[in-house]
C-alpha cells in the first residue's frame, strides 16, 4: 500500500462534460516515495473526507482515494484478579460516538507510535502506561477514511484510568469481549485476541 501526501488541490473544474463526474471536480497533485501522481476527485468527496494540502491518502483496490489516518491503540491488561481483563472504552464524540474501542489516538509529527500511545493515554485517561510489544497493525477502510492502527500490549504503571473523553469504559474478561458493540477495526483485533488469548 502506497501512502500519498496531497501537495496541491487545483481549483474546481465546472466543465465536467469531458470527465466521468457530473459535478465539479478538482485535481489532487500527490507525492510519495515512489514519485508523483494525480487524481481527479469531486468537490463533494473532498469536503466529505476533509481533504486538504498536507493530508495523506491511499487508493483502495477499486482505485478510490481515501484519507489515510494513522493511529495507535493500547490493549491494557490487568492480571491482578482471578481472570485477566482488558480495558475498553466507548467513544464520547464524533460519528462513531458510543462505539467500543481500545483507547489511543493519532500519532503527532515527530512521535514514535509508542510515545504517541503514552501521551494519548495520559491525556485521555490520566494514567501512565508502559507500552509492551506490538500485537498487530490493522488496516481498515471506513467509508470516509482508511485507518492504519498499530495495536500494542500495555500496562498501567502509575495512576488510575479516569475518563476524560470517553463516554464509558469497562474491564472485560475473554468471556465478556462480545458484550459490547466494537467499532469495525477494533472488532478485527478482538476476534484475533479471542483465538490467541
Residue 9, Cβ density class (10 Å: 0-12 exposed, 13-18 middle, ≥19 buried): middle
Q: Where are the domains of the chain?
A: 4-59, 69-196
Say if residues 67 and 146 touch (Cβ distance below 8 Å).
yes
137 pLDDT more than 70: yes
Per-residue pLDDT, averaged over 24-30, amounts to 92
Fold of the 69-196 domain: Nucleoside Triphosphate Pyrophosphohydrolase (3.90.79)
Mind listing the pLDDT tens digit for each residue in 163-188?
999 999 999 999 999 999 999 999 99
Q: Cα(first)–Cα(last) distance of the chain, in Å?
A: 30
Mind listing the pLDDT tens digit for each residue in 43-63?
999 999 999 999 999 998 888
Mind listing the pLDDT tens digit for each residue in 88-99?
999 998 889 999
Per-residue pLDDT, averaged over 124-128, amounts to 96
Pick the closest to residue 99 from 184, 188, 190 (CA basis).
184
pLDDT value for 20: 59
pTM for the whole structure: 0.86
Amino acid at each position: 500500500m502506497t501512502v500519498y501526501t496531497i501537495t496541491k488541490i487545483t481549483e474546481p473544474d465546472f466543465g465536467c462534460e469531458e470527465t466521468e463526474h457530473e459535478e465539479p471536480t478538482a485535481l489532487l497533485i500527490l507525492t510519495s516515495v515512489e514519485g508523483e501522481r494525480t487524481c481527479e476527485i469531486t468537490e463533494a468527496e473532498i469536503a466529505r473526507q476533509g481533504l486538504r494540502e498536507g493530508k495523506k491518502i491511499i487508493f483502495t483496490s477499486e482505485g478510490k482515494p481515501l484519507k489515510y489516518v494513522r493511529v495507535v491503540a493500547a490493549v491494557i491488561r490487568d492480571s491482578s484478579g482471578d481472570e485477566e481483563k482488558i480495558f475498553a472504552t466507548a467513544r464520547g464524540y464524533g460519528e462513531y460516538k458510543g462505539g467500543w474501542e481500545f483507547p489511543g489516538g493519532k500519532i503527532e509529527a515527530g512521535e514514535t507510535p509508542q510515545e504517541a500511545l503514552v501521551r494519548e493515554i495520559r491525556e485521555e485517561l490520566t494514567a501512565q502506561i508502559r507500552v509492551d510489544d506490538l500485537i498487530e497493525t490493522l488496516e481498515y477502510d471506513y467509508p470516509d477514511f482508511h485507518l492504519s492502527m498499530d495495536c500494542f500490549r500495555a500496562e498501567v504503571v502509575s495512576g488510575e484510568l479516569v475518563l476524560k473523553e470517553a463516554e464509558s469504559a469497562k474491564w472485560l474478561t475473554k468471556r465478556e469481549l462480545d458484550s459490547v458493540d466494537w467499532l469495525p477495526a477494533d472488532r478485527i483485533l478482538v476476534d484475533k485476541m479471542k483465538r490467541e488469548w
